[in-house]
Structures are given as C-alpha cells and as structure tokens.
C-alpha cells in the first residue's frame, strides 16, 4: 500500500518468514534428520520456532494496523491462530529444553499444524469452490459469509482434532482403531492432494500466466 511504510515492511517480513517456515517445518518431522543430525534439528528447530512466532506477531500487526479482508469473525479466527502458534511454540521449546521428547514431539506436531493453518485454508477453500462449482456460502465481493467464518477457525482446529484422534488411537493397541485411523489419514491426504491441485491451477498458476 503506497505511503504505509510500517505496514509494507510488516507484509514483506511476513512473506519472507512464511517462505522460511515452509522449508524448515517439514525437515523437523523427518525422523532421519533427528537421529542422524540432532544438531541440525536443534538449530533448524530454533529458526523454525523464532520464525513462526515472529511471523505470527507480524500477522497480528498487519491485522490490527491495516485490517484484512473479511469480517470480524474471520479476524478473530486469524488472531486465535496466531496466538495458538505462539503458545504451542513455547510449549514445544519448553519440553525440548526439559529433554522430555515424547511431550516435545506432540507439541511440535500441534505447532506444525497451526502454523500450516494458512495452507489448509487455501487448500480447503479451493476444494469448496470446485465442489460447489463457484462461490457458495459467502459473498466473493465482500469476502464475507458463513462458510468463510467457518473455515477461518476450521483451517487449524479440524487438523488439531484429527491429530488428537491420531494420538489417541496410537496409544491404544486395538488393530481396528489403527486401520480406521490410517484409512482416515489416507482420505485426508487424497483430499489435500486434490485441494493442492485446484489451488495451484486456480490461485497460483493463473497469476503466473
Ligand atoms: C515443528 C517441529 C519441531 C520443532 C520446531 C522442534 C524444535 C526443537 C528445538 C528448538 C530443539 C532444541 C532445543 C534446544 O536445546 O535449544 C529440539 C530438540 C529435539 N527435538 Fe524437536 N522439534 C520439532 C519436532 C520434533 C519431533 C517430531 C521430534 C520427535 C521425537 C523431536 C525430537 C527432538 C529431539 C530428540 C531433540 C533433541 C536433539 C538433541 O539436542 O540431541 N522434535 N527440537
């Protein structure tokens, strides 16, 4: 936005840090990097945590300083996402420093999902648009409506619920539960693959061509 120096810096920082977080996060979850390169995991983890927290603070500054598209409910959804990132980052670090890696792993995975909320939002929105053959449940001009209110929270709360169910079934020894969870994860992965395809075609590719 011309003339809004502080806001423009916040947007620039936010986009750069979002790029870093996209690279560092998945590397943390690969078991081989932890077992064969713990020092890398430690430093990459520190970069990821710092980046996630700074990005969230920059996001909150952007939200309160210059506002965002959508209505108040969506803004609350975005703000809560940022607050959860900061809390989960603190918990993941706390348990890593206490060398309680079982609990650290759980908080780190929760953190990864809330940081990825903005990604799930885009993928979910594109799936919804394709499934409904266009905008449905919201006004595309004002970018407001019940579906957008819903997805502003669902983009990180639904993945968190799925993760908690995953933890729960993993702790149980019932084979049936493991199979049902694996099937549910497969379905979610396929849905995400379709969402990525649609997002690439409708949002990102169309801007390049
Ligand atoms: C987004 C994901 C993750 C982040 C951001 C993260 C972050 C960190 C950080 C910052 C440290 C170093 C703490 C310090 O000493 O300063 C650490 C250590 C560690 N983390 Fe993670 N972590 C993640 C995922 C995981 C997962 C999934 C596991 C699986 C068990 C794990 C296991 C460990 C272990 C074993 C260490 C100790 C490494 C060592 O110092 O020998 N982390 N993590």
3-state per-residue secondary structure call for 161-192: HHHHHHHHHHHCCCHHHHHHHHHHHHHHHHHH
Q: Which residue has the higher pLDDT, 110 or 5?
A: 110
Which of 15-24, 75-84, 160-169 is the least confident region?
Answer: 15-24
Q: 136-177, pLDDT tens digit by residue?
A: 999 988 889 999 999 999 999 999 999 999 999 988 878 888
Band (207; pLDDT cuts 50, 70, 90): low
Length of the chain: 209
- Name residue 64's beta-bridge partners: none
| C-beta of 102 in contact with ligand 1 (< 6 A) | no
Among 31, 37, 42, the mutation site with the greatest number of ligand 1 atoms within 8 A of its Cβ is 42
- What separation in Å is there between the alpha carbon of 24 and the centre of ligand 1? 12
Q: Which residues contact 176 (CB under 8 A, 6 or more apart)?
A: none
Band (82; pLDDT cuts 50, 70, 90): very high
| C-beta of 28 in contact with ligand 1 (< 6 A) | yes
DSSP, collapsed to helix, strand or coil, labels residue 144 as: strand
- pTM > 0.75: yes or no: yes
Average pLDDT over residues 109-129: 94
Residue 16 predicted with pLDDT over 90: no
| DSSP element (H, E) containing 93 | helix 72-97
Residue (of 145, 156, 88, 89) closest to 122 by Cα position: 156
Q: Of ligand 1's atoms, which has the minimum distance to the CA of residue 46?
A: 10
Predicted pLDDT of residue 209: 55
Predicted pLDDT of residue 208: 58
- What separation in Å is there between the alpha carbon of 204 and the centre of ligand 1? 33
First to last CA, the chain: 24
| C-beta of 180 in contact with ligand 1 (< 6 A) | no
- What separation in Å is there between the alpha carbon of 171 and the centre of ligand 1? 21
- What separation in Å is there between the alpha carbon of 11 and the centre of ligand 1? 29
Predicted pLDDT of residue 29: 93
Q: What percent of the chain has pLDDT over 90?
A: 63
Which of 9-18, 33-42, 170-179 is the least confident region?
Answer: 9-18
d(CA 151, CA 157): 9
């Amino acid at each position: 936005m011309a003339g809004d120096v502080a806001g423009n810096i916040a947007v620039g920082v936010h986009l750069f840090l979002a790029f870093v977080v996209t690279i560092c996060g998945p590397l943390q979850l690969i078991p081989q990097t932890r077992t064969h390169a713990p020092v890398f995991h430690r430093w990459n983890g520190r970069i990821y945590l710092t980046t996630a927290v700074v990005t969230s603070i920059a996001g909150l500054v952007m939200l309160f300083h210059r506002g965002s598209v959508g209505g108040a409910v969506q803004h609350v959804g975005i703000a809560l996402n940022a607050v959860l990132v900061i809390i989960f980052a603190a918990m993941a670090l706390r348990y890593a420093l206490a060398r309680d890696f079982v609990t650290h792993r759980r908080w780190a995975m929760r953190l990864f999902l809330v940081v990825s909320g903005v990604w799930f939002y885009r993928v979910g929105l594109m799936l919804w648009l394709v499934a409904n053959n266009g905008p449905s449940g919201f006004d595309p001009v004002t970018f407001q409506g019940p579906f957008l209110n819903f997805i502003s929270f669902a983009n990180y709360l639904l993945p968190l619920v799925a993760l908690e169910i995953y933890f729960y079934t993993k702790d149980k020894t019932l084979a049936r539960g493991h199979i049902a969870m694996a099937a549910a994860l497969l379905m979610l992965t396929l849905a995400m693959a379709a969402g990525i395809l649609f997002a690439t075609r409708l949002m990102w590719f169309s801007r390049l061509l």
